[in-house]
Amino acid sequence: MRNFGKWGLGTVLMAGCSWAFAAAERAPWQLNMHPGVTQTSHEAYQLHMLSLWICAVIGLIVFGAMFIAMFKFRKSKGAVAATWSHNTVAETIWTIVPILILVVMAYPATKVLISEAYTNESQMTVKVTGYQWKWGYDYVNWGDKPYHVRFISKLAGDSDRTRQLRSGLDPNSVKNAQGENTYLLDVDKPLVLPTNTKVRFVITGDDVIHSWWVPALGWKSDAIPGIINDTWTNISEPGIYRGQCAELCGQDHGFMPIVVKAVPPEEFKAWLDQQEAAQNPSATPAAAPVAQQTPTAAPSNG
């Protein structure tokens, strides 16, 4: 009976863990995946929950059968081992049932993968380039209008100074304006994106393989030299979304965070125009009236 108490406690703890994993609300000590802020991330979350529940039910059946066999048919109760070794009907069932379960899981997963790859009808394009150890962002267009805005986004100065060997600086004192600890999480220039806009990403690497990953967007994409991966996002809520390089790329792999700042489309457009004017003064009518007479002049892309 003492042993049964131990097993019972174990079962209750396991059930408690499953419940905690299944809880969808964001909370301190949240264990489950976050649903994110895009259609793709919601779809990934639903796939995850489907798999989780299928696994939970399979676990319950398998462990339930195992515990019944262990307790009800134990030697001390006079159980005698069976002598048969094959049962074609049982083997057929336990081959076909897992195949059906895998098909049930693969069908929606494939649908989501196909929709993630559908970059047509995007409203703007951003090129992401992975470097050792920073990210390059190029804003290629907004609708029909081409843009030539480009910048490098790297670890914020305070984190960078603090991380140096024997810097003597306290990582706990690296904080943002809201007082949150942002040690190794902030960058000097975030990737600004508009909300409610289908943004296409073309992602590549300049030296070694990196991987661009912001969990709230629902996907990650390898940044491979010589190869261009494309995917898309459409962020529903303004906010700051953080990510990391997700492919070991050298000694400072852990020091190239990603920060996406999602703002309403009007605010984004104003920011993008301002960046365009600042980076390409010769091509901007306001800064150089001469350019107004020759609107076809190719903007310099310094």
Binding-site size, Cu ion (CB under 5 A): 4
Q: Which stretch binds Cu ion (CB under 5 A): 75-83, 165-173, 202-210, 227-235?
A: 202-210
Tokens for 105, please give them: 């899981």
Q: Which stretch binds Cu ion (CB under 5 A): 73-81, 188-196, 216-224, 251-259?
A: 251-259
For residue 245, state whether it binds Cu ion (rule: CB under 5 A): yes
The closest alpha carbon to 113, from 209, 205, 210, 47, belongs to 47
In angstroms, give the least distance from the CB of 72 to Cu ion. 53
By the 8 A CB rule, do 211 and 248 touch?
A: no
Q: Which of 193, 249, 259, 283 binds Cu ion (CB under 5 A)?
A: 249
Residue 36 or 257 with smaller CB distance to Cu ion: 257
Residue 124 or 256 with smaller CB distance to Cu ion: 256
For residue 283, state whether it binds Cu ion (rule: CB under 5 A): no
Residue 32 or 229 with smaller CB distance to Cu ion: 229
Alpha carbon separation from 178 to 50, 68, 162 (Å, rounded): 37, 55, 19
Q: Which stretch binds Cu ion (CB under 5 A): 32-40, 73-81, 117-125, 252-260?
A: 252-260
In angstroms, give the least distance from the CB of 164 to Cu ion. 19
Residue 245 or 272 with smaller CB distance to Cu ion: 245
Helix (H) or strand (E) holding 70: helix 39-72
Q: State the Rg of the chain over Cα.
A: 27
In angstroms, give the least distance from the CB of 209 to Cu ion. 8
d(CA 187, CA 175): 12
The closest alpha carbon to 233, from 268, 198, 196, 195, belongs to 198
For residue 210, state whether it binds Cu ion (rule: CB under 5 A): yes
In angstroms, give the least distance from the CB of 158 to Cu ion. 21
Q: In terms of C-beta density within 10 A (0-12 exposed, 13-18 middle, 19 or more buried), how is residue 214 classed?
A: buried
For residue 155, state whether it binds Cu ion (rule: CB under 5 A): no
Q: Which of residues 41-70 bind Cu ion (CB under 5 A)?
A: none
Residue 258 or 262 with smaller CB distance to Cu ion: 258
Amino acid at 242: R
Instruction: Name the β-bridge partners of 84.
Output: none
Q: Which of 127, 253, 261, 269 binds Cu ion (CB under 5 A)?
A: 253
DSSP string, 250-296: STTGGG--EEEEEE-HHHHHHHHHHHHHHH-GGG-TTT-THHHH-TT
Binding residues (CB under 5 A) for Cu ion: these are 210, 245, 249, 253
